[in-house]
């Protein structure tokens, strides 16, 4: 499948406990952040998929293995990629990494069923299937290097 997409976050005070350690529930929120950014990097959003094509990626299963704590003010990288894409489901995998000491803090996965707004399982629209499997989009500059807007 495709390469890792990396999204940077900084641990906020509200995500920590009295000792300044990140509460375990935040990792699933960060997985969602990574997943949303992964989709945006491939030129679509959840909102677009839901509103334009009546396709929702419903979380059916989650898994997270905690390896080392994260702390208030840590800068972290959420790595996300598609591990499996079937006709009506897909699986993302994640790594939460702290670059300052090169520590892998957590790893996990989420399984999603594709449904319509009536909660009926449906086939993933081909457009999004192609985008999910594509290599990460190149971040093109608005203007060619060395040229000013006209």
User: Closest Cα partner for 112 from 95, 129, 92?
Assistant: 92
Quote the tokens at residue 139.
């971040």
Q: Is 101 left (phi over 0), alpha (psi -120 to 50) or beta?
A: alpha
Of the residues 3, 17, 43, 101, only one is catalytic, namely 17
Asked whether 36 and 110 are in contact (CB, 8 A), the reply is no
**Can you tell me whether residue 70 is helix, strand or coil?**
coil
Q: Decide if 17 is catalytic.
A: yes
Paired with 66 in beta bridges are 106
By annotation, the residues acting in catalysis are 17
């Amino acid at each position: 499948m495709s390469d890792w997409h990396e999204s940077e976050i900084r641990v906020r005070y509200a995500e920590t406990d009295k000792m300044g350690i990140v509460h375990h529930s935040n990792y699933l929120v960060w997985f969602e952040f990574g997943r949303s950014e992964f989709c945006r990097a491939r030129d679509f959003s959840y909102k677009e998929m839901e509103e334009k094509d009546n396709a929702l990626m419903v979380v059916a299963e989650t898994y997270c293995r905690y390896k080392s704590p994260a702390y208030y003010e840590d800068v972290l990288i959420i790595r996300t990629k598609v591990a499996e894409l079937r006709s009506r489901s897909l699986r993302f995998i994640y790594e939460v990494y702290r670059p300052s000491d090169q520590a892998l803090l957590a790893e996990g996965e989420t399984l999603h069923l594709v449904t319509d707004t009536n909660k009926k399982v449906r086939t993933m629209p081909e457009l999004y299937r192609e985008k999910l499997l594509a290599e990460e989009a190149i971040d093109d500059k608005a203007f060619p290097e060395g040229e000013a807007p006209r």
